[in-house]
Amino acid sequence: MVRLKSRYVLFEILYPPVTGTQYSKTEIYVSNHTQSPHQITSKTLLQEIRRSLQINFGDYGAGKVASLLQLKYFSNTTSMGIIRCHREDCTLLVAALSLISKVADIDGVIINPIKLSGTVKKIEQYGVRRNSMAISFLKAQPSSNSLTLQTSENDIKILDSHQNF
Amino acid sequence: MSGSKSGGKKQLNKNQLFKRQKVRNARTIRTEALSSASGKSDDLSESGGMLRVDQFVHSRKFEIEQLQIAMIKSKASSSTRVFQSLPRKLRRRTASHNVRRIPKRMRNRALREMMKSDQQVVAKERIKKNKIHGLTASQLYKMKMSVKLLRLAGKSTSLKLALPENATASNCNLRQKIKTLQKQIKEAKSFSSSNVKFNNNKMGSYDNTGISKLAPIPKGRIKYFKRQRFFTWLPTHIWNAKRSHMIKRWGCQLPWSPTQKCFKMTHRIASYSATSDGALCMDSSFMGTMIIKDTSEEHTILQSLVSRLTNKRAILRKYRQSQTWFQGLFYSIKDSTNIWGPGDLFWVNEGTILLRVHPSIYVSIFNEIATSDKELLLHDCRYALASITIKGAKSLTALSSALRSVTPSASFEQFKLISNLTDENVLPQKAIFAFDAIDPRYLSAPKRIHSINSKKEISVDAILKLQNDYPQEEIRNILLKLCDPECREMSYKNQNTLKELSSRRQKLLISTPQKRQIQHDKDSDPSIPLLIAKRPRTQDWVIILPWFWLLPLWHQINRVPRVYHFGLRQYQQLQYEQRQLYFPDDYPFTNVGFMENSLYKRQSLKSRWLKKPIGKRVNYDKINGIHSLELPAFSGEIGDYFSCDWELLRILRNGIDFLTSQGKELKLIDSRRTTQFDSNDNSRAINTLNDVIELYKDVRTIEPGTSSTEELPVTLASSLPTPGASLHATEIKNESASLIITQTTLPIVAISCNFIERGHPHDNARIYRIPDTDLSYWLQVANGVYRADGKKDHEQNIPKPSVIDLIGFVTTATYHLGEGNGLATGFIDAHIASTMPLEQKYILVRNVGTNIYRLAHWEQIIM
């Protein structure tokens, strides 16, 4: 029997740094990986991907990829997601993803395809590994200014000082 | 139109919908909701400069958790049945729909699952009314009788009575057996007769040694006796029968291969690879063990016997005095050109040796020694000594965690020292341990030994000490115990039954709850003499111990994690991967090996081929383009299609030698003449190669192996002959040409060849020499021919060799996982092998029924 072969793409949305602020290394990392606002939902994301496919690859590309295009997972809090597509079309999809610069009405975002795999399990495992690396990276950084992790219960506005500039 | 009629999607029933929904639910990954408070202010423009590291970390932690849960959930949803959640090793495919086949503790869950999936619950078979207990009257009578027999047998073991001869005789019927048992029990109770033999244990274990004659088949449990009249069971038979495919050969029922696929696992664990993290073990009790004692002072008879048997090898001091394990070829004592096959030899002391040989040649060797040297004392220990072969990085760990010494012993201390070694190659060539061990079942579970040194790495000095402080005296004493029938019998004294063991354990738990190991009682408990030896050539460990002690040890070893069992097929694979020859398949120069190839394997391959419908089977006669020049004498594949055709090789090579002798030029066909016959003796005149093939066809009409007196067509070349010296030039005398060609044996050498390009060789593949005209082309291939885009070109028109270039056959071949390409073990004409230049040791290999040649590099296997 012929099986439907698919690929899963792990991606993240990177947000532009706010103009006029100066960040340290850690802060750049955190600011790029902020939460996605409410406007960005799986629906808007898919719309955007379809549009990008249409613009960049025409009717053929859009039709080919869209025959199997599922957003398996998208989390606003971490801006990470998993897309499923046909095995043959994954290159088109990855290209389309990286050509997107605007989602909903937020401009200047980068969609970064992180990992491509044939099974969700491996994608999930990679996501876990990546997240824990990010956490350990943050913990390893010397806590500068008010950037502390110990008081994680409260919302701390870390970069008050920067805002004042 | 309704959806169901318009085609396309299948309507699902309730259960299927439920299942689909369940899978879907299991696969969704939960996301953390954006908190509404932060959401509003989270406009990028507003919160621009605000970074919330804690939130960042928290959300990622949440995601990690959810991803992990998703993985677990989706796995759980896919394994729908309880028996599928068992580890692979414990799963039983057979009748897994039957609740009664599932472990009891899981039955309720299994039933629930079966109800859910609309599966029928298998009910007990209903008994027909006219049959009581589902049996006919005669069947019922037989059953009742056999129950009676079993009761009596059980009674006699608990009275510690040895089973009488009649009870297990094949010519005795059930009633006679019952009668003899009843009589014996009666006599034993009244203590009236002295002819009742008693066992010293309740398990029915006894020593079964044949002194100067072959031992009778062991009297195992009476219930299963009828099944092993012709093929004896190994001690682990019942264990293995549940987990392996069994074959009946050489008078034993042997595990052929585990039911679970294990080609890769065998390679990874046992094939001397760095990734090995376990061990593979096999019950190798089928290997016949023989003990030969020389009671005279000088031991000259024994020495001369060993010298003849091993062609002067095992007589060396390193084997005889310092007790190195010997592995090598065994020769016939009467005729040194006749090779029996490989075997092991071990000098217990100066006047005693222990032989281990394959069961197919055991009886012949035993009889030969028994008839030739009458002064020697011969013990047939086939059913008295059992052995386990274990291989892999964890083999020492597994052994040491199941074995404990009875008394403080120097050898056991040495064994403890190396118990955590993973690579036996660091040990010296001689690594022998022998000690008295306690019953392995006293340990509640195998437990690793933590000696003082186990934390530290073993130093070179410690390993040298193994050699220097070798406790020879102590080891010899233990070995003498192992080799003595009475001592073996003594080792079974008070062998505990499982019931006794568990009651002892129960008492132990009540008195000292923290202790699990049953204490060894010096006065009453048995001690097992055993020998652990590293085999230098095959690089594995062999444990030899009394026959009825094997099973307890086997059970314990198999409880060690990452220890698996293997069968003959895996043993062959391991030998192949180490580029060694496997007996009997790779020994065409021995009688057994030749028969295995030309009868047993040939028949099985042929019958498999014949079973296929005509349209589906390869038509070997009509394969085109095999050779550069087609001869009229044959078409398609050359030689026998289902075996290595050594007869063909002999006639072909001898024929070519004959045709080219005296400086003549080799003619393939004479187009002007047809076959001629000699007028003198009516034999075929040999003028061209075509005549040689015709001669082969004449000879082949006689089925191979039917006449046992005929000599084997090939012999093992003792050393590579000097190049240029024609082997047969001297032999050509006045005899008729066809007689010379068909009677002279052909010397061959064992080779192992590595494919340079692609290709997957199979057994019985043909080996060709590279013709001189094509040498430059093949040398180019060896260096790699590339296409314009830099990739290797695999699609070229290759020049074909001709029939005269056929020089040998492949005996075992497949894809070698360690090398990453095809590797074949085979034999080629020794004369041709010697003429090949060292730097161009290339040959061509072609699978049977194909016309594709693959280049391979060969090297000789040193025997």
Domains identified in chain A and CATH numbers: 6-140 (3.30.70.3250)
B67 and A151 within 8 Å at the Cβ level: the answer is no
Q: Which of the four pLDDT bands, split at 50, 70 and 90, describes residue B47?
A: very low
A138 and B57 within 8 Å at the Cβ level: the answer is yes
Task: Write the DSSP symbol of residue B713.
Answer: S
B29 and A72 within 8 Å at the Cβ level: the answer is yes
Q: Which of the four pLDDT bands, split at 50, 70 and 90, describes residue B122?
A: low
Which residues does chain A have within 8 Å of residue B60's beta carbon, measured at their own beta carbons?
78, 131-132, 134-135
Answer whether A133 touches B (CB < 8 Å). no
Of chain A, the percentage scoring pLDDT greater than 70 comes to: 85
pLDDT at B722: 55
Which residues does chain B have within 8 Å of residue A147's beta carbon, measured at their own beta carbons?
51, 53
Q: What is the mean pLDDT of residues B486-508?
A: 90
Token output for B231: 């093929």
Count of CB atoms situated within 10 Å of the CB of B497 = 14
Alpha carbons B463 and B410: distance in angstroms, whole number: 14
Count of H helices and E strands in chain A?
A: 5, 6
Any residues with CB less than 8 A from the CB of B341 and at least 6 apart, and which?
A: B329, B330, B357, B358, B360, B361, B583, B584, B587, B590, B592, B593
Query: What residues of chain B, 45 to 84, have a C-beta less than 8 Å from chain A?
Result: 47-64, 67-68, 70-71, 74
User: The complex's ipTM?
Assistant: 0.84
Domain boundaries, chain B: 210-284+385-578, 591-721+735-860
Alpha carbons A129 and A131: distance in angstroms, whole number: 5
Alpha carbons B594 and B714: distance in angstroms, whole number: 9
Alpha carbons B455 and B452: distance in angstroms, whole number: 7
pLDDT at A157: 34
Mean pLDDT of the residues in chain A: 82
Instruction: Return the closest-CA partner of residue B378 out of B303, B286, B294, B297.
Output: B294
Q: Give residue B683's region: left, alpha or beta (phi > 0; psi -120 to 50).
A: beta
Mean pLDDT of the residues in chain B: 83
Which residues does chain A have within 8 Å of residue B33's beta carbon, measured at their own beta carbons?
76
Phi/psi at A30 (5° precision): -65, -40
Interface probe for A, chosen from B43, B47, B50, B79 (most Cβ of A below 10 Å), is B50
pLDDT at A165: 32
pLDDT at B552: 94
Termini Cα distance of chain B? 79
Of chain B, the percentage scoring pLDDT greater than 90 comes to: 33
Q: Which of the four pLDDT bands, split at 50, 70 and 90, describes residue A164?
A: very low
Alpha carbons B384 and B232: distance in angstroms, whole number: 13
Answer whether A77 touches B (CB < 8 Å). yes
> B255: burial class by Cβ within 10 Å (0-12, 13-18, 19+)?
buried
Any residues with CB less than 8 A from the CB of B632 and at least 6 apart, and which?
A: B669, B690
pLDDT at B603: 92
Any residues with CB less than 8 A from the CB of B232 and at least 6 apart, and which?
A: B217, B218, B251, B252, B253, B383
pLDDT at A159: 31
> B2: burial class by Cβ within 10 Å (0-12, 13-18, 19+)?
exposed
Q: Mind listing the pLDDT tens digit for each residue in A133-143? A: 988 888 887 65
Q: Mind listing the pLDDT tens digit for each residue in B350-376? A: 889 999 999 999 999 999 999 887 888
Q: What is the CA radius of gyration of chain B?
A: 34
pLDDT at A63: 93
Asked if the peptide bond before residue B584 counts as cis, ω within 30 degrees of 0, the response is yes
Alpha carbons A83 and A79: distance in angstroms, whole number: 13
Q: Which of the four pLDDT bands, split at 50, 70 and 90, describes residue B766?
A: very high
Interface probe for B, chosen from A12, A19, A78, A151 (most Cβ of B below 10 Å), is A78
The pLDDT of residue B542 is above 80: yes
A75 and B68 within 8 Å at the Cβ level: the answer is no
Cα B418 vs. chain centroid, distance in angstroms? Answer: 26
In which residue are the tokens 């029924």 written? B849
Give CA torsion, residues B391, B393, B397, B402, to 10 deg. Answer: -30
Nearest to B48 among A18, A26, A75 (CB): A18
pLDDT at A96: 94
Whether the Cβ atoms of residue B812 and residue B582 lie closer than 8 Å to each other: yes
A152 and B58 within 8 Å at the Cβ level: the answer is yes
Count of CB atoms situated within 10 Å of the CB of B62 = 17
Render B45-112 in DSSP notation, one character per residue. Answer: HHHTT---HHHHHHHHHHHHHHHHHHHHHHHHHH--SGGGSS-GGG---TTTT-GGGS-GGGHHHHHH
Nearest to A135 among B28, B44, B57 (CB): B57
Least reliable range by pLDDT among A32-36, B306-310, B557-561, B702-706: B702-706
Any residues with CB less than 8 A from the CB of B189 and at least 6 apart, and which?
A: B159
Greatest CA separation found in chain B? 116
Give CA torsion, residues A12, A18, A24, A29, to 10 deg. Answer: -10
Least reliable range by pLDDT among B131-140, B443-452, B654-663: B131-140
pLDDT at B814: 93
Residue length of chain B: 863
pLDDT at B324: 92
Instruction: Return the closest-CA partner of residue B443 out of B487, B399, B402, B479.
Output: B402
> B552: burial class by Cβ within 10 Å (0-12, 13-18, 19+)?
buried
Q: Which helix (H) or strand (E) holds B854?
A: strand B854-860
Interface probe for B, chosen from A13, A27, A34, A150 (most Cβ of B below 10 Å), is A34
Any residues with CB less than 8 A from the CB of B260 and at least 6 apart, and which?
A: B88, B89
Q: What is the mean pLDDT of residues B586-593?
A: 91
**pTM of the predicted structure, to 2 decimals:** 0.77
Token output for B478: 């233990």
The pLDDT of residue B86 is above 60: yes
Q: Mind listing the pLDDT tens digit for each residue in B813-836? A: 999 998 889 999 999 998 888 888
Task: Write the DSSP symbol of residue B133.
Answer: T
Alpha carbons B821 and B251: distance in angstroms, whole number: 37
Whether the Cβ atoms of residue B378 and residue B212 lie closer than 8 Å to each other: yes
Output the CA torsion sign for B649, B650, B653, B656. negative
Give CA torsion, residues B249, B253, B254, B255, to 10 deg. Answer: 130
Answer whether B37 touches A (CB < 8 Å). no
Answer whether B38 touches A (CB < 8 Å). yes
What three-state secondary structure class fits B647?
helix
* Distances, alpha carbon B861 to alpha carbons B445, B488, B578, in Å: 43, 40, 11
The pLDDT of residue B530 is above 90: yes
Phi/psi at A92 (5° precision): -60, -45
The pLDDT of residue B841 is above 60: yes
Q: Which of the four pLDDT bands, split at 50, 70 and 90, describes residue A147?
A: very low
Least reliable range by pLDDT among A31-35, B29-33, B103-107: B103-107
pLDDT at B177: 80
Task: Answer with the residue of higher pLDDT: B100 or B441.
Answer: B441
The pLDDT of residue B703 is above 60: no
pLDDT at A3: 83
Task: Write the DSSP symbol of residue B653.
Answer: H
The pLDDT of residue B131 is above 70: no
Termini Cα distance of chain A? 65
B51 and A158 within 8 Å at the Cβ level: the answer is yes
Least reliable range by pLDDT among A7-11, A37-41, A73-77, B697-701: B697-701
pLDDT at A74: 93
> B511: burial class by Cβ within 10 Å (0-12, 13-18, 19+)?
exposed
Q: Residues B113-126, buried b or exposed e (16+ Cβ, 10 A)?
A: bbeeeeeeeeeeee
Output the CA torsion sign for B480, B483, B485, B491. positive
Task: Answer with the residue of higher pLDDT: B407 or B103.
Answer: B407
Greatest CA separation found in chain A? 65
Least reliable range by pLDDT among A41-50, B431-440, B504-513, B579-588: B504-513
Answer whether A33 touches B (CB < 8 Å). yes
pLDDT at B79: 62
- CATH 3.30.1360.120 for domain B210-284+385-578, yes or no, is yes
The pLDDT of residue B3 is above 90: no
B56 and A120 within 8 Å at the Cβ level: the answer is no
Token output for B41: 């202010």
Any residues with CB less than 8 A from the CB of B252 and at least 6 apart, and which?
A: B231, B232, B233, B234, B286, B359
- Parallel/antiparallel/unpaired status of strands B746-755 and B714-716: parallel
Q: Residues B671-681, buried b or exposed e (16+ Cβ, 10 A)?
A: eeeeeeeeeee
In which residue are the tokens 């391991």 written? B574
Token output for B849: 């029924």
Q: Mind listing the pLDDT tens digit for each residue in B545-562? A: 999 999 999 999 999 989
- Parallel/antiparallel/unpaired status of strands B528-535 and B540-546: antiparallel
Q: Mind listing the pLDDT tens digit for each residue in B250-295? A: 999 999 999 888 899 999 998 877 788 899 999 999 999 999 998 8
